[in-house]
Amino acid sequence: MALGMPKALKLDDPDVTLPRDVRESFVASSELVGMNNTADARIESTASPQRLAVDVRDVSLTFETADGKVDALSNVSLQIADGEFVSFIGPSGCGKTTMLRVIADLQQPTSGTLLVNGMSAEQARLERRYGYVFQAPALFPWRTIEKNLKLPLEIMGFSDSEQKLRAARYLALVNLTGFERKFPWQLSGGMQQRVSIARALSFDPALLLMDEPFGALDEIVRDHLNEQLLQLWDKTGKTVLFVTHSIPEAVFLSTKIVVMSPRPGRIIDIIDCNFPRDRTLEIRETPEFLKIAQRVRVGLRAGHSYDE
Amino acid sequence: MTNSALALSASGGGTLRQHPLFVRYAPIATIVLALIVIWYIAAVLMNLSLVRDGFEREETPYTVSELIEGTMSAERPLLPAPHQVISAFVDSVFGYAPTAPRSLVYHSAVTLSATLLGFLLGALLGIGLALMIVHSRVLEKSLLPWIICSQMVPILALAPIFVVVLGAIGLQGLLPKSIISAYLCFFPITIGMVKGFTAPDPMQLDLMRTWSATPRQVLSKLRWPSAVPFLFASLKVAITISLIGAIVAELPTGAEAGIGARLLAGSYYGQTIQIWAALLAAAVLASGLIGLVDLTERGVARQMGTRS
């Protein structure tokens, strides 16, 4: 609404043909705002046909270290719409993890503005609007798998029956039904990471932040989990922000690829990537796929030569 | 083929050497045996002049075998032989009613009650201090030096002061002893628990933050369970120290009962055998207490799914 777009569009205007899903998301967002304030809702929806899940404007973050200042992020701007799958790719130290941590309010930017789900990052965290998956599963070793899944639910005060229901549902979603009573060390690394994804989903946040979740896994497990993650995204319609080192992984999963470069951490390219939602691993052999991968690679290389 | 050959040799020669009981206890038994032999030799050497003087004073002729026999059956030897200590121990444990003032069971029970109360107080104090130190940097800076200082003052110098001061405000008997015992045993618990409460992985702490858990929830669901292994390690140290504290507290207080009182009386009257029997009782008590902590630890570890 702050973008000053004309309030020309009306939802019930027969002349306006909006795509069906946009129309639906419009309705959803007006309900969220409360129907008594339809004018505002209308402006918002005309400003961007889809609501923004994450809106980053001119964000910079400087660390003070013993060796002096390090620019982890430098004037980064990025808009991510609801339901997108966005990958962040770049060499180590390019600030992609910092970017995710800033969005999660685990770190505070030195300057710039940041909105998550239309609210400040801190408020989004306090209202538990996102789930975070780290490089390592970070399961609590003294809790069974089921109890690990219930942990965020316990903290958020869900009822016992609801906890049980959700633990079962999300374990099933990551194909781990039957492992409820096992302890984390009894599961393989890939299974543990699936549990941590289920845990992040268990309280049904609209936004999923994933920081190299499959980085420590071997190629075969990773491929398998990539396919599962894609199905999960398709089924749940969540917005996913995904940090990775791997070009094929980024191209295969994403609707949008953000290429970043280090020192100072900044965005050098944003690539749209619209393969059908029910894609399989085979698309990795197609010319379209290779073309996008090539563009990512060129972007990464450009970032590096700039640096040296 | 090699397998069957192995099986043959196992069932054939050396059945005793492969018996699990033998494998487990043979090394311990060897050490104990060696110690007993050394002890007997030392007893003979140390008591030799004493016994010889005795014979010479009475001007009776003696043989070498009589001399050696004398060193092992003296009434007040410098170093009593093992069998003397054990018979005195058995006699004073089983020879009297458990409530008789000559019974070691009675004295052990008196010391045990002070030990357990002191241990409880010390554990509460130790954990409480650790919590304060972990949650506040100011407290860490202000408390920790004092905690360390408290352990540098010899307890033998402090104990009489404690007893006098506490006696002046009307505290007598069990409590002063327990307080001295607690004063000694809180320290390893504080140090261990500070380490334990700060043991969680940064990732686990970040996760709690993404769920906007309250400090209390972080404590109960993450810091406390992470600290459990550290807790038991320090409890094992603390419970022996608290036994020593209780015994030491009995020395300057002129206690009439307790292992410490028994030691003191023994040294007044030169009853070395009685001293050693009391020491043996203290050792038995200490291993019993450690065994108890160990057993509890195993139970808790099983509950927490620790990999065995």
The domain limits of chain B are 2-78, 104-303
Contacts of B26 (CB under 8 A, 6+ apart): none
Task: Tell me the residues of chain B between 287 and 306 that have a Cβ less than 8 Å away from chain A.
Answer: 304-306
Average pLDDT of the segment spanning B23-30: 89
Average pLDDT of the segment spanning B68-74: 84
Tell me whether A181 touches chain B (CB under 8 Å): no
**pLDDT-based confidence at A14, cuts 50/70/90?**
very low
Tell me whether B203 touches chain A (CB under 8 Å): yes
The domain limits of chain A are 1-48, 51-129+205-307
**A51-65, B189-203, B218-232: which range is least confident on average?**
A51-65
DSSP label at B72? T
pLDDT in the model for residue A196: 92
Percentage with pLDDT > 70 across chain A: 82
Tell me whether B207 touches chain A (CB under 8 Å): yes
Q: Is B50 helix (H, G, I), strand (E, B) or coil?
A: helix
Sheet (strand A111-116) strand order: A68-81, A52-65, A111-116, A119-120
Percentage with pLDDT > 70 across chain B: 94
pLDDT in the model for residue A304: 64
Q: Which of A141, A151, A185 sits opposite B221 (nearest CB)?
A: A151
Query: Is residue A20 pLDDT above 80, yes or no?
Result: no
**Chain B residues close to A144, C-beta within 8 Å:** 305
The overall average pLDDT reported for chain B is 87
Encode pLDDT of A33-67 as tens digits.
333 434 443 334 444 446 788 888 888 888 888 88
pLDDT in the model for residue A19: 43
Average pLDDT of the segment spanning B190-209: 93
Tell me whether A216 touches chain B (CB under 8 Å): no
Q: Pairing mode, if any, of strands A85-89 and A119-120?
A: unpaired
Give, in words, the CATH class of B104-303.
mainly alpha
The C-alpha of A8 sits at a distance from chain B's nearest C-alpha, in angstroms, of 40
Task: Tell me the residues of chain B between 97 and 126 that have a Cβ less than 8 Å away from chain A.
Answer: none
Tokens read off for A193: 């990471």
pLDDT in the model for residue A50: 61
Tell me whether A130 touches chain B (CB under 8 Å): yes
Average pLDDT of the segment spanning A127-147: 91
Average pLDDT of the segment spanning A4-24: 41
Query: Is residue B34 pLDDT above 50, yes or no?
Result: yes
Fold of the domain built from segment(s) A51-129+205-307: Rossmann fold (3.40.50)
